[in-house]
Copies of this chain bind each other. A is one copy, B any other.
C-alpha cells in the first residue's frame, strides 16, 4: 500500500495512473467529486480513469468545435447525473464508468444532427445520454455479470444507432449531410487527392490521417485534437499511449492495403476503432507482455476489416459504424485471451492502467 518504491514509480510521471490520492481529496466535496467523476468519464472513452486525461481530451474537443465540446459535456453530465439519481454503485460512478457512454452520445448527436446549438437537439442529447446509463446497466448485466467481459462502448452504440435512425422519420429533429444512405458506390482509394487542399504531400496526408484517426474516437476530425487526446492517454499510461498510436497507424495501413476509400482514410475513419482495440488488449484488459502486444495488433487489424464490413452495413441505412467494430472485435479477442493460458487477463474490478497491471500479483 504505502510501499515507497511504488510511490517513486508513480512519481516519475505527473498525473500518472488513476491518481487515487487526488481522487480521495476530491471525494470530500460533493461538487468536486462530481466534476472529477465527469472528467474521468471523458478519459474512460480511451480507458483513462484519470481527470487530467479527461481535461486534455475535452480541450481536444473544443479545438475541433465548441459545439462538439459542449454537446459532449451535456451528454457526460446527463449520464453521470442519471447514475447519481438512480443511486448506482458509487465506486463505478467515481471512476467515470457512468459517464463515457453519455459523453460519446453527445458528441455523436452533435456531429450528425443539425443545426448546431438547437434546443431540440440539446434536449435530445440530454435524454439519450440519460438512457445510455440504463444501457450501461443492461449491457453490464450480460457482459460483466455473466461473461466477465467489459461493456466497452456498446451502450453508446445501442443508444446512438436508433437516435440517428429516428431522424429519418422526424421533421423536427434533423440530420446533416454526414448521414446519407450509401448503396454500392465506386471507391476511390487515392488518399492524397482526398486531402483537404489536394496539394498536401502524401507523407503529411498520412500523418494527418494518423492523428485524425485518434481524434475521431470522440468525433474530433482535427490533427491538433488527435495530438491532445494522445497526450491525455500518455499522462495516464505510456503503454496505452503507444498502442493508441500504433493502433491508429495499423488501422490506416490495413485500410490502404485493402484499398479503402481515400477520403474516409484521410479523415481518420479507418483508425479510431483499431486504436482503442489495440489499447484495450495490449495492457488494459490483459497484463502487458510482448505476446499481448502482438495479440493487440492482430486484433486492431481484425477490427479494421470489421470496420469496413460494418460501415457497409450501417451505410445502407445512412448511419456510421460508430465504435461497434471496436466493441465486437475486442470482446471476441478478450474471450480468446480468457480461453488460452498464453495471457493473463486483468479481473474487471482491478482494471486501472497498463503500468499498474504489471505490478499485479500473479
Residues on A facing B (Cβ under 8 Å): 86-88, 127-128, 131, 133-135, 137-138, 141-142, 146-147, 161-166, 168-173, 181, 183-184, 187, 189, 257-261, 301-302, 305-306, 308-313, 316-318, 331-333, 335-336, 339-342
Residues of B within 8 A of A332 (CB): 131, 134-135, 137-138
- The answer to whether A134 touches B309 (Cβ under 8 A) is no
Q: Which 10 A-B pairs have the closest CB atoms?
A: A162-B309, A172-B259, A171-B259, A166-B308, A165-B309, A170-B258, A166-B309, A134-B336, A86-B340, A138-B335
Q: When chains A and B are docked, how far (Å) is the Cα of A128 from the Cα of B301? A: 11
- B169–A261 contact, CB under 8 A? yes
Known contacts A141-B147, A162-B309, A309-B162, A171 near B189 by CB under 8 Å: yes
Contact residues in B for A316 (Cβ distance below 8 Å): 316-317
A146–B344 CA distance with the chains assembled, in angstroms: 23
A259:B184 contact, CB within 8 angstroms: no
Write out the residue numbers on chain B whose beta carbons fall within 8 Å of the beta carbon of A301: 127
Inter-chain pairs besides A170-B260, A172-B257, 7 sampled, C-beta below 8 Å:
A86-B342, A87-B341, A134-B332, A170-B308, A171-B258, A173-B258, A312-B317
A183 touches B181 (CB 8 A): yes
A-B contact pairs, 15 of them (CB 8 A): A86-B336, A87-B340, A127-B302, A127-B305, A134-B335, A138-B335, A146-B146, A161-B309, A162-B305, A162-B309, A169-B260, A170-B258, A170-B260, A171-B260, A181-B183
Docked pose: A331 CA to B141 CA in angstroms: 12
> What secondary structure prevails in chain A residues at the interface with B?
helix
Cα distance A333–B317 in the bound complex, in angstroms: 26
Q: In the assembly, what is the distance between CA of A181 and CA of B173, in Å? A: 22
**A311 to B309 alpha-carbon distance, docked (Å):** 18
From B128, B187, B309, give the contact of A171 (CB < 8 A).
B187
Q: Which residues of B contact A168 (CB under 8 A)?
A: 184, 312
- Which of B135, B165, B173, B305 is in CB contact (< 8 Å) with A163? B305
Distance in angstroms from A357 CB to nearest chain B CB is 21
A165 partner, pick from B164, B170, B312, beta carbons under 8 A: B312
Asked whether A339 and B88 contact (CB < 8 A) given A134-B332, A138-B332, the answer is yes
Q: Is the CB–CB distance between A317 and B313 below 8 Å?
A: yes
